[in-house]
Amino acid sequence: MAYENIIVETRGKVGVISLSAGKLNPLSKQLLRELMDAMKTFEADDNILCIVIFGNDEVFCAGANIKEFASENFVDMFSQNRFGEETEAFRNCRKPIIAGVNGYALGGGCELAMNCDMIVAAESAQFGQPEILLGLMPGLGGSQRLTRAIGKAKSMEMHLTGRRMSAREADQAGLVSKVVPDADLKEETMAVANKITEQAPLAVMAIKEAINQSEELPLREGLLLERRLFHALFATEDKNEGVQAFIEKRKANFTGK
């Protein structure tokens, strides 16, 4: 697929997708199609171990393309199951995805970031679910994911008033893994991604699965899943290599086997 709204590149073992759809990066249907295609391509590429999503130099994403909404009705949204495919694409991706967020991350932009496994925020980042101001509500996970990330009280207030949250508040509330100066966002996000690519890929995959399942499973089932995945990693060559490297005081050479 030829991309017109995103820029896709490979940096070492990291697949980088940068939204490039104008000043505010509204999430048009075409942009989302391109994003899904790029994610599936990276997911299928054995040389890629982590995926990063950036906005442009000033804005991550101002949300769904409101202008497209003007001509759309219930039949369009329901019959096309709008955002269903995107929600599943993120759920099905087994490689870690990191969002590097600067500027606006509003509506679908905030949801896009939260569909990733981790958010690194620049100081300029502003998160919000302002759909209420349009007489709407989130459709790409906002009401569920923001509530799980920052708790009911703050999530309810943000959704019902449309207020935005600064990077610092998002950090304190647990929405983002860290806040960095804007000038360092790309470097700092890539540093986290590169660090992940140095780890044993099967362990990375298992940890991502266990943590994401923690949001869905009762504790007892989550603990069992974790224990079984922990047991399963004892069948990997990378576990032998990692333990042996520790004992021999050398860097492990993981192979993904």
Cβ-contact 180, 121 below 8 angstroms: yes
- Pairing of the two strands 97-101 and 126-128: unpaired
Residues 63-92 that bind ligand COA (CB under 6 A): 63-67
Candidates 10-18, 31-39, 60-68, 191-199; binding stretch for ligand COA (CB under 6 A): 60-68
Interface residue with ligand COA, options 62, 146, 150, 206 (CB under 6 A): 62
Query: Which strands sit side by side in the sheet containing 165-166, from one edge to the other?
Result: 104-106, 126-128, 165-166
Minimum Å distance from CB 110 to ligand COA?
Answer: 8
- Residue identified by tokens 């995103």 is 6
To the query of whether residue 157 is one of the catalytic residues in this protein, the response is no
- Closest to ligand COA by CB, 15 vs 26, is 26
Tell me how far apart the alpha carbons of residues 239 and 256 are, in angstroms, rounded to a whole number: 10
Question: Residue 110's closest CA among 153, 173, 47, 68?
Answer: 173
Which one of 15, 55, 100, 107 is in contact with ligand COA (CB under 6 A)?
107
Q: What is the DSSP string of 16-81?
A: EEEE-SSTT--B-HHHHHHHHHHHHHHHH-TT--EEEEE--SS-SB--B-HHHHTT--HHHHHHTT
107 catalytic? Reply is no
Q: Give the nearest distance from C-beta 27 to ligand COA in angstroms.
A: 7
Number of CB atoms found within 10 A of residue 174's CB = 12
Smallest distance, ligand COA to C-beta of residue 105, A: 10
**Dihedral pair phi/psi, residue 120, rounded to 5°:** -100, 125
CB 68 to ligand COA: min, Å? 8
Site string for ligand COA, 11-30 (x = CB under 6 A): -------------x-x----
141 binds ligand COA (CB under 6 A): no
Closest CA to 140 of 165, 114, 159: 114
* Minimum CB distance to ligand COA smaller for 8 or for 105: 105
Q: In the set 131, 171, 188, 238, which binds ligand COA (CB under 6 A)?
A: 131
Active-site choice (108, 109, 128, 142): 108
Q: Would you please indicate which residues are annotated as catalytic (active-site) residues? A: 64, 108, 111, 131
Q: Which residues bind ligand COA (CB under 6 A)?
A: 24, 26, 62-67, 104, 106-108, 130-131, 134
